[in-house]
Amino acid sequence: MEDTICAISTNPGNNGAISIIRLSGPDAILITSKIFSNPKFLKAESHTIHYGYIKDNMKKVDEVLVMKMLAPKTYTTEDVVEINCHGGYFTTQKILELLLLNGARLAEPGEFTKRALLNGRINLIEAESVSDMISAKSENARDLAMNGISGRLTKLIQNLREEMVSILANIEVNIDYPEYEDEEIVTHETILPKVKRIEKELEEIVTESKNSKMIKEGIYISLIGRPNVGKSSVLNHLLEEDKAIVTDISGTTRDLIEGTFVLNGILFHLIDTAGIRETNDVVEKIGVEKSKKTIEEADAVILVLNYNEELTKEDQELLTKISSKKNIILVNKNDLKQKIDPSIYKRKNVIEGNTLESEGLDQLKEKLIEMFHLAELQQKDINYLSNARQISLAKKALENIKNVQNQIMENVPIDVLEMEIKEAWNHLGLIIGETYEEELIDKLFEKFCLGK
Ligand SMILES: Nc1nc2c(ncn2[C@@H]2O[C@H](COP(=O)(O)OP(=O)(O)OP(=O)(O)O)[C@@H](O)[C@H]2O)c(=O)[nH]1
Ligand SMILES: [Mg+2]
């Protein structure tokens, strides 16, 4: 980390009012001073802002504000400079180019955060959460990332590790100084309640973390049904925009159409599909196959039926097909005459309505909230582990703790238990990156955007 890196930290594709170009490293100040017109900048105090021009030799490139932040109180703990320039693509690129010409190197994706991690300013959970924060698409996803960044999640893991260490210390003292009378004697009976408490906490973290995928990525819902029942109309109503073409011609939708909306802070991906029917039309056939596939892939299915038609063989087949999935049956077009067999209402999760007056759609949303327990989710503190890496390590730690309990039941000697507790402690350590592997770090930062 001898070199000085630089990158455009704001979205380079947009014509925003302002762009920020960031530098970090030992020569950040010197390199900037070579292209910055303000003579006071080089000797100025840390954490100050300076006005002036970026110059290409004698030519003014842009009027800018430059932030000077000296190590160690910076994002990376190194010397950091942030140049606020006008947001146009060419200006920003030009300034970046001048910095590169004067000795900076273009940062790799996530390299600023990687330096923050390697220099010990943030831990692994916090680094992963920075990436989550940038890609958050709903309020809850943002909260989840913020708990990671703010260290709340780290604290939770650290507390568990401390409890483990205190058991380990007790055991060690007993083994090394059996004659030391002041120390509490460790027996299977004294360890068991402590281990049980740890198990309960870990169990809670692992179970609740299942929600984090839903919070981060959202929920996929597929709208299926025969042609012309009103699937695309339902999509348009839920998205509150004319996303899909609606006509009275059967087979209007031919490909998957996806839109998103947010309910209780959770992002829903709604997928409109081609109406399912037997067809010889080559294009429509492919569409129908795609529709069927979404039934398997979606988190839940909304089957749309027509109130104004009798149930057909295709409807019956679809009813069977969706029965193994989370599903809602929406009987649409109830503004028309009822022809559908009333026995349909004996089924679970049936909603009736129509898209002309938007009837039943609020009920549909309520059903989704109920189906995915979103009301309960909103009342909870979001203390979840946020990705598969973290969750699998917590599961391993939980496994270790369960083993300890079994060993206690089988009267296994105390010093053997110690090994299993140590392993649990180690697994939790890997979550926050107390110990980490080079390879993992590289993989993590590949997913970052430039300039972060
Ligand atoms: N009366 C009435 N007509 C509706 C309702 N919802 C949709 N329609 C009409 O039904 C026809 C088909 O609607 P679409 O939304 O295109 O149906 P679809 O299920 O997407 O059809 P495909 O794309 O062909 O599979 C259109 O003429 C709509 O205006 C409703 O609630 N009541
Ligand atoms: Mg359609």
- Ligand 1 pocket, residue 338 CB under 6 Å: no
Nearest CA to ligand 1 atom 23: 253
What's the rounded mean pLDDT across residues 330-347?
96
Q: Per-residue confidence at 134, pLDDT binned at 50, 70, 90?
A: confident
Q: Per-residue confidence at 448, pLDDT binned at 50, 70, 90?
A: low
Question: Looking at residue 444, what is its pLDDT?
Answer: 61
- Ligand 1 pocket, residue 332 CB under 6 Å: yes
Nearest CA to ligand 1 atom 10: 230
Angle at CA of residue 431, ends 429 and 437, nearest 5°? 80
| 274-320 pLDDT per residue, tens | 999 999 999 999 999 999 999 999 999 999 999 999 999 999 999 99
Please give the Cα distance from 39 to 350 (Å, whole number): 73
Q: Are 353 and 366 in contact (CB under 8 A)?
A: no
b or e along 403-414 (b: 16 or more beta carbons within 10 Å of the residue's beta carbon)? Answer: bbbebbeeeeeb
Q: Are 212 and 387 in contact (CB under 8 A)?
A: yes
Question: Looking at residue 450, what is its pLDDT?
Answer: 66
- Ligand 1 pocket, residue 357 CB under 6 Å: no
Q: Per-residue confidence at 140, pLDDT binned at 50, 70, 90?
A: confident
Please give the Cα distance from 242 to 244 (Å, whole number): 6
Q: How far is the CA of 231 from the centre of ligand 2 (A)?
A: 5
Using the predicted structure, report yes or no on whether residue 265 has a pLDDT greater than 90.
Answer: no
Question: Bigger pLDDT: 359 or 447?
Answer: 359
Question: Looking at residue 144, what is its pLDDT?
Answer: 85
Count, residues in the chain: 452
Using the predicted structure, report yes or no on whether residue 13 has a pLDDT greater than 80.
Answer: no
Question: Looking at residue 441, what is its pLDDT?
Answer: 61
Question: Looking at residue 349, what is its pLDDT?
Answer: 95
What's the rounded mean pLDDT across residues 419-423?
91
Question: Looking at residue 298, what is its pLDDT?
Answer: 96
Considering every ligand atom shown, identify the ligand nearest to the alpha carbon of residue 226 and give its number: 1
Please give the structure tokens belonging to residue 28: 């950040």
Q: How far is the CA of 249 from the centre of ligand 1 (A)?
A: 9
Three-class SS string for the chain? CCCCEEEECCCCCCCCCEEEEEEECCCHHHHHHHHECCCCCCCCCCCEEEEEEEEECCEEEEEEEEEEECCCCCCCCCCEEEEEEECCHHHHHHHHHHHHHCCCEECCCCHHHHHHHHCCCCCHHHHHHHHHHHHCCCHHHHHHHHHHHCCHHHHHHHHHHHHHHHHHHHHHHHHHCCCCCCCCCCCHHHHHHHHHHHHHHHHHHHHHHHHHHHHHHCEEEEEEECCCCCHHHHHHHHHCCCCCCCCCCCCCCCCCEEEEEEECCEEEEEEECCCCCCCCCHHHHHHHHHHHHHHHHCCEEEEEEECCCCCCHHHHHHHHHHCCCCEEEEEECCCCCCCCCHHHHHCCCEEECECCCCECHHHHHHHHHHHCCHHHHHHCCCCCCCCHHHHHHHHHHHHHHHHHHHHHHCCCCHHHHHHHHHHHHHHHHHHHCCCCCHHHHHHHHHCCCCCC
Using the predicted structure, report yes or no on whether residue 436 has a pLDDT greater than 60.
Answer: no
- Ligand 1 pocket, residue 236 CB under 6 Å: no
Q: How far is the CA of 305 from the centre of ligand 2 (A)?
A: 13
226, 233, 277: which to mutate for ligand 1, most atoms within 8 A of CB? 233
Question: Looking at residue 228, what is its pLDDT?
Answer: 96
Question: Looking at residue 123, what is its pLDDT?
Answer: 87
Question: Bigger pLDDT: 168 or 116?
Answer: 116
Question: Bigger pLDDT: 179 or 410?
Answer: 410
- Ligand 1 pocket, residue 229 CB under 6 Å: yes
Using the predicted structure, report yes or no on whether residue 438 has a pLDDT greater than 70.
Answer: no
Considering every ligand atom shown, identify the ligand nearest to the alpha carbon of residue 287 and give its number: 1
Nearest CA to ligand 1 atom 26: 248
Question: Looking at residue 415, what is its pLDDT?
Answer: 83
Question: Looking at residue 259, what is its pLDDT?
Answer: 96
Neighbours of ion ligand 2 (CB under 5 A): 231-232, 252-253
Q: How far is the CA of 242 from the centre of ligand 2 (A)?
A: 12
Nearest CA to ligand 1 atom 9: 230
Share of the chain above pLDDT 70, in %: 92
Cis bond leading into 72, ω under 30°?
yes
- Ligand 1 pocket, residue 336 CB under 6 Å: yes
| 365-415 pLDDT per residue, tens | 999 999 999 988 766 666 688 788 889 999 999 999 999 999 999 999 888
Nearest CA to ligand 1 atom 32: 333
Alpha-carbon distances of 415 from 105, 167, 221, 370, rounded to whole Å: 53, 11, 52, 49
Q: How far is the CA of 315 from the centre of ligand 1 (A)?
A: 16
Using the predicted structure, report yes or no on whether residue 437 has a pLDDT greater than 60.
Answer: no
* Residues pairing with 305 in the sheet: 331
Domains and CATH numbers, the chain: 5-123 (3.30.1360.120), 139-213+384-436 (1.20.120.430), 217-377 (3.40.50.300)
Q: How far is the CA of 81 from the centre of ligand 2 (A)?
A: 53
Q: Are 184 and 170 in contact (CB under 8 A)?
A: yes
Question: Looking at residue 178, what is its pLDDT?
Answer: 65
Question: Looking at residue 212, what is its pLDDT?
Answer: 84
Average pLDDT over the chain, rounded to whole? 90
Q: How many CB atoms lie within 10 A of CB 238?
A: 25
Question: Looking at residue 179, what is its pLDDT?
Answer: 63
Considering every ligand atom shown, identify the ligand nearest to the alpha carbon of residue 246 and give its number: 1
- Ligand 1 pocket, residue 252 CB under 6 Å: yes
Q: How far is the CA of 346 from the centre of ligand 2 (A)?
A: 27
